[in-house]
Amino acid sequence: MKKQWYDYLWIFSAAYLILGFFNILFAWLGLLCFFIPLIISLTQGTKGYCNRYCGRGQLFSLLGGRFGLSRKRDIPGWMKSKAFRYGFLIFFFLMFFQMLWNTYLVFAGAQDLRQVVTLLWSFKLPWHWAYHGTLLHPGVAQFAFGFYSVMLTSTVLGLVTMVLFKPRSWCVYCPMGTMTQLICKAKNR
Amino acid sequence: MKTVKKRKATVDTAACVACGCCVKVCPKGAIAIYRGIRAEIDQENCIGCGKCAKECPASVITIREVQP
Ligand code: SF4
Ligand code: SF4
Ligand code: SF4
């Protein structure tokens, strides 16, 4: 099939991770990967984002497929069970709200800006080189650190399951994918 | 008399995550994602090549022999 412009959005996904390494404020762009799929599923009732535009999925299929960084085995049954997929979605949401809460605390002045990227919700990586203060409120930066943590964590999980199972294994339990599918199911009942 | 068996893809729709990976690899354009819920295969156009089954991250596509 002929390649379309949207088949190159993996470049955006890769650039996102790299830019966040140099300036954390780029992390805000990641909101696009949250709102676009939601808007498409809410208005069109389709998973058009996953099916077409998602650069992250493309990145995994490129690395796992073309570059062969995948064992291409079947994903274990429990990982595609509804219990795990919905459970992971809920867990992801809880962590997301905790991140928003931390951002709020910084905005409210109750907490100082913490320039760390938290990997897998537990490992704090120093990331101080990516922010040197701006005219913006520190809370703006706190959100960026938090959001980048979310994106990096999901990329790392996706890369691990890409290597172990099929290239786009992440798409089986990706919270955005699960959530948009649920929205579509609710809308198209 | 010889019966020609054809190979066709079937989706375990309950376990399909509607990611669309299968759509992207089908050489016949025989797959569509139905309303963001599940993949549907056009049995007329499917040639049973198995590309979709290989690609599917949830491994929910099987290639079966069907009586024509
Ligand atoms: S399931 Fe997630 S990673 Fe996969 S295409 Fe959809 S949004 Fe992208
Ligand atoms: S690749 Fe598999 S899980 Fe994804 S839409 Fe196709 S059949 Fe469903
Ligand atoms: S078996 Fe081949 S032709 Fe049939 S749906 Fe899958 S990819 Fe398309």
In the numeric block, the tokens 């949830």 are attached to B58
Mean pLDDT of A72-85: 96
Q: Residue B1 pLDDT more than 70?
A: no
How many domains does one find in chain B?
Answer: 1
Residues contacting A147, CB < 8 A, separation 6+ = A27, A28, A30, A31, A99
Q: Judge whether B1 lies within some domain.
A: no
Question: At B67, is the pLDDT very low, low, confident or very high (cuts 50, 70, 90)?
Answer: confident
Kindly tell me if the per-residue pLDDT of A44 is higher than 60: yes
Which residues 6+ apart lie within 8 Å of B61 measured at CB?
B9, B10, B11, B12, B22, B39, B52, B53
A151-to-A28, A44, A62, A157, A160 alpha-carbon distances in Å: 11, 25, 18, 10, 14
Nearest Cα residue in chain B from A173: B17
Contacts of B17 in chain A (CB under 8 A): 80, 85, 171-172, 177-178, 181
Q: Give the distance (Å) from ligand 1 centre to CA of residue B63.
A: 25
**Per-domain residue ranges of chain A:** 5-187
Q: Judge whether residue A144 has pLDDT over 70.
A: yes
Does residue B59 belong to any structural domain of this protein? yes
Query: A186 falls in which pLDDT band (50, 70, 90)?
Result: very high
Does A168 score more than 90 pLDDT? yes
- The CA distance from B66 to the nearest CA of chain A, in Å, is 24
Residue B45 lies in domain: 6-66
Determine the Cα–Cα distance for residues A17 and B42; give it in Å rounded to an integer: 38
Q: How far, in Å, is the centroid of ligand 2 from the Cα of A187?
A: 20
* CB pair distance less than 8 Å for A80 and B20: no
Q: A125 CA to chain B: closest CA distance, Å?
A: 31
In a domain, B43, yes or no: yes
Q: Is residue B47 part of a domain?
A: yes
pLDDT reading at A127 higher than 80? yes
Q: Decide if B32 is inside a domain.
A: yes
CATH number at residue B40: 3.30.70.20
On chain A, the residues whose CB falls within 8 A of the CB of B58 are: 75, 80, 172
State whether B19 and A177 contact (CB < 8 Å).
yes
How much is the pLDDT for A128? 87
Question: Model pTM?
Answer: 0.93
Residue A144, phi then psi, degrees to nearest 5: -60, -45
| Token code pair at residue A160 | 């691990």
Query: If pLDDT is split at 50, 70 and 90, which confidence band does B2 have?
Result: low
What is the distance in A from the centroid of ligand 2 to the CA of A78? Answer: 17
Question: For residue range B7-52, what is the model confidence (pLDDT) as tens digits?
Answer: 999 999 999 999 999 999 999 999 999 999 999 999 999 999 999 9
Which phi and psi angles does A101 have, rounded to 5°?
-65, -45
Q: How far apart are CA B60 and CA A150, in angstroms?
A: 28
